[in-house]
A and B are shown apart, each in its own frame.
Chain A
Amino acid sequence: MIPVKFDYLAPTSVEEALAALGEHGDDAKILAGGQSLLPVLRMRLNAPEVVIDLNGISSLRGIRDDGDAIVIGAMTTHHDVRDHELVKEHALLLAKAAAEVADSQIRHRGTFGGALAHADPAGDLGAPALALGAQFVVQGPGGSRTVEADDFFVDLFETAIGDDEILTEVRIPKHTGWGAHYEKFVRVAHQWPIVAVAVTVKGSIDEARVGLTNMGSTPLRARATEAALAGASATEDGVRAAAEQAAEGTNPPSDLNGAADYRQHLARVLTGRAVLKAAGAA
């Protein structure tokens, strides 16, 4: 289908992009990989007058080591996140989750920043970012600021990024040597998750981080389960007992793929499985 007509801008620096955003305000939309934006435009669910393409800004692409964190540029593709050595070494959970996004074509186009900015509660990268305590660097007319993971996801498709701001990079505190598993539950391979659970654990088990995908209007942390797992041993019984609390405080949707109570059941079962796999016990 054909989108409504729009003007297309291709800035080559963040400053230039911000200036364009400032000029056009609400009438403008940022284009990253286009894997969420283009379907929306083509189905005419949104009709911006100006599209600002970030693909020409090379500084937004790439992954670097920054002491106690790794830093992922917003325009880095899912494919590159999945395959990058720094990610595998210090944030294995992200590599595993990126591998589960859609299919190969989409992973080569879709970007890390675009996915997080889009904030689809069924998106695969929010829960891992939350579990890893990611810090989101957003740049606006007044400069850059950092938003903590807990404050970044506001609601369905809504983040702390202001209308005049761009997400430039995401800092992921190093979780070197942590085990990780992303358990995604789908009916067909190319689907968004019905429920997914992102787990990373230190040792077996000293500490655990558990993120939930599609269990509410934003990615969630299963904190009760995390607490129950800290210092627990990675036995089937112990882990399953801790996982029993995974759905506490969740408010998942009901749709063709499952009612809310079923999703809560899945969250419990999948959490148990993901923790055991992350801890190398399954």
Chain B
Amino acid sequence: MTATQDRPAAEIGKDRRRKEDQRLITGRTRWTDNITLPGMLHLAMVRSPFAHANITSVDVEAAKSSPNVVTVLSGKDFGEELGACINAWPITPDQKTPAHSPMPADRVAFAGEIVAVVVARTSAEARDAAELVDVEYEELPAVVGIKNALKDEVLAHPDLGTNKSALWVFDSGEAGTGTDAEAAITEARANGIVIEREYRQQRLIPAFMEPRSVVVDPTGEQITMWSATQIPHILRFALAATTGVPESKIRVIAPDVGGGFGGKLQVTPEEWIAWAVARRLMKPVKYTETRSESLMAAHHGRDQVQTLTLAADKDGKVTGLKVHLDADLGSYVAIVGGGVPVLGAFMFNAIYKFPAYRFECQTVLTNTTFTDAYRGAGRPEATYAIERLMDELAAEVGVDPLEIRERNWITHEEFPFTTVAGLEYDTGNYEAATAKARASFGYDELRREQAERRERGDRVQLGIGVSTFTEMCGLAPSRVLGSLDYGAGGWESASVRLTPLGKVEVVTGASAHGQGHETAFSQIVADRLGVPFEDVEVLHGDTQVAPKGLDTYGSRSLVVGGEALVKAVDKVIDKAKVLAAHLLEANADDLDYADGKFTVRGTDQGKAIQELATATFAGHDYPEGMELTLDADATYDPVNFNYPHGTHLCAMEVDTETGAVKMRKYTCCDDIGTIINPLIVAGQVHGGLVQGIAQALWEEAVHDEAGTLVSGSFVDYLLPTSADTISFDVVHTDDPSICTTNTLGTKGVGEAGTIASTPAVVNAVVDAVRHLGVNDIQMPCTPERVWRAIHANDGDAATPADAMPHFHEGSLNQDEGAGA
């Protein structure tokens, strides 16, 4: 096709309000729980209160005789037809993977695991009866916590003989992508700087707004499952693979889905149970979890201990990095549970030119809720570690943290750049993003204020945190996934159909759950095909409507799915051109396509795409040999990941008396290539930032020694609201680094804010109190932790006088001028 020069890209780059928002916000739409089918039955789950126990008996009699209960089933009532929860990514050939039944008959491995299901005519009756199910357990010792699990004294699954699931290693010396990290560390111990740290990535709960919900209708030739899932296509595949029902007999629908953040990238025991019950009773069933169940039994994220060794020369040029992760899988290896920390393997070297790198990841099983993807999945953990370490290196060398980064980063002339982890970064400009962020933030001024507050011994100290992140996203080149033993590909599919009256139906295999695909994809099609934005309808999330796809996660929908869409639109235009040439009695080479219209060069004759759609529908006049359709499908398999990056700067105030922290300013300058819709990008960035900040300051899933989730409600699992955040300063580079591996030049932005912000915040908090002898504070940086860190060195004679905390027990606030 000819470029659409005379028509400016009207839609791409426009702040379109999201067309899906009205129905999503008002709830006048199809959430799974809103679906009611004739004769539908309701399920309630009976869950184990124990983290590890043998099930000795399940007495369902009382529950069965409760009003309007249809049946009560426990694990032993099911056979093969119950299927299994799958692990799609065994990270090593010898990975230990415990069998994961949706409803075990013999033994539970975490508190919240399902032991029985009650089926009743209403959900209230099902819930009442669930309390009458009498399960006898023989409690077994539970293993909780990574370090306990590594000891292999108490086993999460005794039959496996160990808690260690898999050890995955990458070594740049062995891979030929760099030199030997151990040698670099040895050299640095003698002649340079070695920074050794252990960082804790606490466990988080995705806490999507809409609880998980599933409806199964077994009546009819195909069995239909509606589920609040991110992955309808993968779900159908897994149902077929594990329950023996042919794929062609399964239809999965993800209707409007209220958020996921990776938390709905799962095939869940609840879905499998609903499926099995519906098939057994031949009646539609529904299950919607309560918030308590969601917090306890939907998968958790993060949870790693990171043991890190950074080697550098005396000027702070990094010579090597060694990473050892111990990652908590929880009770089972969930669908990509083992793979999540491995996704981080390629990101610890971040934007830097490290010559040597070694990465090891040991996954361990514990008797806790299983873990899996959570926004950023592996990359936030990696980014946190390296960005914290770079700040530590700066402190060690005695230079500004931005300076230490500049000494190590890839300069913009060096792209494309092959990293020590073996990835090829196509484009980027860290200098530009940093310069813009720095100016917008008022970096020098805040540094001055920080110095003044230190000088004065102010009660409230100021800290500045830096995070110059990059990430790999747009999951993913299928061959690369194959080389990592991932169980699927990373391509995406799209179809474009023209209706008889000239409207456009776009079918995508990406499955939006709040991201705004319908709007962004409409903008792309509007520009590319030259039709009004309003005329584009985006269809998704139903395997019958969008039969092919790999769904939404890993910041992939636009960069992979969007590219498939572009290819499909181009095919439509190619087909239409043949018809246009025929109808205009012109040579196809003399046609230009712009603004949705073919014109014969040098004449005023033309045919609009809508006219061609109608002509195709009529079929009265078309060229010999033309197939009578303009519709087209396309599949796109990305050739590379893409690598958005950005410089995030955060200023935090720390009340040294109480340990309370307060955000003062947050600036981010992200370079994400071409921006299709700035408003959607802003939404992704703002929300992403808050999610990352929440890891730094608020959220933590805590299990006690017995394996009970202590933070089991929003009273104890602290989610921030708008009242807890400030207005972020979100900017972008003036001359973005266009992605070279897709036509639109876009890079992913769905996870960027979350990946980047956590270390920026913690770096700022540590920076505020570093002069008081603090070089780390465990996340979340609660006031108590901050306060204890400040006072850990009280009475330590080695603390230099100018770094002395200005108050001690018994003599509060000696400082006169500090104010109250």
List A residues at the B interface (Cβ < 8 Å): 1-2, 4-5, 43-44, 103, 185, 187-192, 194, 236-237, 240, 243-244, 256-259, 262, 265-266, 268-270, 272-273, 276-277, 281-282
Closest beta carbon of chain B to A216's beta carbon, Å? 18
Assess the A272–B820 pair: CB atoms within 8 A.
Answer: yes
Query: Which residue on chain B has the smallest CB distance to residue A258?
Result: B784
- Known A258-B784, A272-B812; contact A5-B124, beta-carbon cutoff 8 A: yes
CB < 8 Å: which of B128, B783, B816 contacts A4? B128
Closest beta carbon of chain B to A229's beta carbon, Å? 14
Assess the A262–B787 pair: CB atoms within 8 A.
Answer: yes
Inter-chain contacts of B810 with A (CB < 8 A): 244
Assess the B724–A189 pair: CB atoms within 8 A.
Answer: yes
CB < 8 Å: which of A44, A190, A191, A256 contacts B131? A44
Q: From residue 770 to 820 of chain B, which have CB atoms closer than 8 A to chain A?
A: 782-784, 787-788, 810, 812-813, 816, 819-820
Q: Mark B717-753, 1 if CB is under 8 A from A, else 0.
A: 0111101100000000000000000000000000000
Query: Which residue on chain A has the smallest CB distance to residue B655?
Result: A269
Assess the B715–A192 pair: CB atoms within 8 A.
Answer: yes
Assess the A236–B813 pair: CB atoms within 8 A.
Answer: yes
Task: Answer yes or no: B291 CB below 8 A from chain A CBs.
Answer: yes
Assess the A240–B812 pair: CB atoms within 8 A.
Answer: yes
Closest beta carbon of chain A to B812's beta carbon, Å? 5
CB < 8 Å: which of A188, A257, A268, A269 contacts B724? A188
Assess the A282–B820 pair: CB atoms within 8 A.
Answer: yes
Inter-chain contacts of A187 with B (CB < 8 A): 697-698, 718, 782-783
Inter-chain contacts of B716 with A (CB < 8 A): 256
Closest beta carbon of chain B to A94's beta carbon, Å? 22
CB < 8 Å: which of A188, A257, A258, A266 contacts B721? A188
Assess the B657–A1 pair: CB atoms within 8 A.
Answer: no
Task: Answer yes or no: B614 CB below 8 A from chain A CBs.
Answer: no
Assess the A258–B124 pair: CB atoms within 8 A.
Answer: no
Query: Which residue on chain A has the smallest CB distance to residue B819?
Result: A282
Task: Answer yes or no: B710 CB below 8 A from chain A CBs.
Answer: yes
Closest beta carbon of chain B to A239's beta carbon, Å? 8
- For chain B, the bracket of interface size reads 35 or more
Task: Answer yes or no: B702 CB below 8 A from chain A CBs.
Answer: yes
Closest beta carbon of chain A to B699's beta carbon, Å? 10
CB < 8 Å: which of B721, B788, B812 contacts A190? B721
Query: Which residue on chain A has the smallest CB distance to residue B713?
Result: A43
Q: From residue 412 to 444 of chain B, which have CB atoms closer than 8 A to chain A?
A: none
CB < 8 Å: which of B124, B658, B710 contacts A269? B658
The docked-state distance in angstroms from the alpha carbon of A276 to that of B716 is 31
The docked-state distance in angstroms from the alpha carbon of A185 to that of B713 is 20
Q: From residue 220 to 258 of chain B, which have CB atoms closer than 8 A to chain A?
A: none
Closest beta carbon of chain A to B288's beta carbon, Å? 10
Q: From residue 167 to 188 of chain B, which have CB atoms closer than 8 A to chain A?
A: none
Assess the B820–A273 pair: CB atoms within 8 A.
Answer: yes
Assess the B820–A276 pair: CB atoms within 8 A.
Answer: yes
Q: Mark B688-703, 1 if CB is under 8 A from A, else 0.
A: 0000000001101010
Q: Mark B611-638, 1 if CB is under 8 A from A, else 0.
A: 0000000000000000000000000000
20 extra interchain contacts, Cβ-Cβ under 8 A, other than A190-B723, A244-B810, A258-B783?
A2-B123, A4-B128, A5-B128, A43-B292, A43-B713, A44-B131, A185-B658, A187-B698, A188-B718, A188-B721, A188-B724, A191-B715, A194-B783, A256-B710, A257-B784, A265-B787, A266-B658, A269-B657, A269-B658, A272-B820
The docked-state distance in angstroms from the alpha carbon of A269 to that of B812 is 8
Q: Is the interface of A mostly helix, strand, loop or mixed?
A: loop
Assess the A244–B721 pair: CB atoms within 8 A.
Answer: no
- Known A1-B292, A269-B658; contact A262-B128, beta-carbon cutoff 8 A: no
The docked-state distance in angstroms from the alpha carbon of A98 to that of B128 is 37
Inter-chain contacts of A240 with B (CB < 8 A): 812-813
Closest beta carbon of chain A to B809's beta carbon, Å? 8
Inter-chain contacts of B813 with A (CB < 8 A): 236, 240, 272
Inter-chain contacts of B548 with A (CB < 8 A): none
The docked-state distance in angstroms from the alpha carbon of A73 to that of B396 is 63
The docked-state distance in angstroms from the alpha carbon of A258 to that of B784 is 6
Query: Which residue on chain A has the smallest CB distance to residue B791?
Result: A265
The docked-state distance in angstroms from the alpha carbon of A191 to that of B292 is 18
- Known A269-B658, A272-B820, A273-B820; contact A257-B782, beta-carbon cutoff 8 A: yes
Query: Which residue on chain A has the smallest CB distance to residue B718?
Result: A188
Inter-chain contacts of A268 with B (CB < 8 A): 812
The docked-state distance in angstroms from the alpha carbon of A281 to that of B819 is 9
The docked-state distance in angstroms from the alpha carbon of A192 to that of B715 is 8
Inter-chain contacts of B29 with A (CB < 8 A): none
Assess the B787–A188 pair: CB atoms within 8 A.
Answer: no
Task: Answer yes or no: B300 CB below 8 A from chain A CBs.
Answer: no
Inter-chain contacts of B128 with A (CB < 8 A): 4-5
Assess the A244–B812 pair: CB atoms within 8 A.
Answer: yes
Inter-chain contacts of A237 with B (CB < 8 A): 816
Could you name 14 residue pairs across A and B whose Cβ atoms are closer than 8 Å? A1-B290, A1-B291, A2-B124, A4-B128, A187-B697, A188-B718, A191-B718, A236-B816, A236-B820, A262-B787, A266-B658, A272-B820, A282-B819, A282-B820
Kindly name the residue among B290, B783, B810, B816 whose own CB sees the greatest number of chain A CB atoms within 10 A.
B783
Task: Answer yes or no: B660 CB below 8 A from chain A CBs.
Answer: yes
Inter-chain contacts of A4 with B (CB < 8 A): 128
Inter-chain contacts of B788 with A (CB < 8 A): 262
The docked-state distance in angstroms from the alpha carbon of A188 to that of B663 is 12
Assess the A189–B723 pair: CB atoms within 8 A.
Answer: yes
Closest beta carbon of chain A to B655's beta carbon, Å? 9
Task: Answer yes or no: B711 CB below 8 A from chain A CBs.
Answer: yes
Kindly name the residue among A259, A262, A269, A277 whose own CB sees the greatest number of chain B CB atoms within 10 A.
A269
Assess the B702–A188 pair: CB atoms within 8 A.
Answer: no
Task: Answer yes or no: B164 CB below 8 A from chain A CBs.
Answer: no
The docked-state distance in angstroms from the alpha carbon of A187 to that of B123 is 36
Query: Which residue on chain B has the smallest CB distance to residue A243?
Result: B812
Inter-chain contacts of A194 with B (CB < 8 A): 783
CB < 8 Å: which of B127, B291, B784 contacts A259? B784
The docked-state distance in angstroms from the alpha carbon of A237 to that of B812 is 9
Q: From residue 657 to 712 of chain B, which have CB atoms closer than 8 A to chain A?
A: 657-658, 660, 697-698, 700, 702, 710-711
CB < 8 Å: which of A236, A244, A262, A273 contacts B784? A262
Assess the B719–A256 pair: CB atoms within 8 A.
Answer: no
Closest beta carbon of chain B to A59's beta carbon, Å? 33
The 4 closest A-B pairs by CB, nearest first: A282-B820, A189-B723, A1-B290, A276-B820
The docked-state distance in angstroms from the alpha carbon of A269 to that of B660 is 12
The docked-state distance in angstroms from the alpha carbon of A172 to that of B81 is 67
Kindly name the residue among B702, B810, B820 whose own CB sees the greatest number of chain A CB atoms within 10 A.
B820
Q: Mark B184-200, 1 if CB is under 8 A from A, else 0.
A: 00000000000000000
Inter-chain contacts of A277 with B (CB < 8 A): 820
The docked-state distance in angstroms from the alpha carbon of A149 to that of B291 is 37
Closest beta carbon of chain A to B467's beta carbon, Å? 22
- Known A5-B128, A257-B782; contact A185-B724, beta-carbon cutoff 8 A: no
Kindly name the residue among B124, B698, B812 whose own CB sees the greatest number of chain A CB atoms within 10 A.
B812
Query: Which residue on chain B has the smallest CB distance to residue A255?
Result: B716
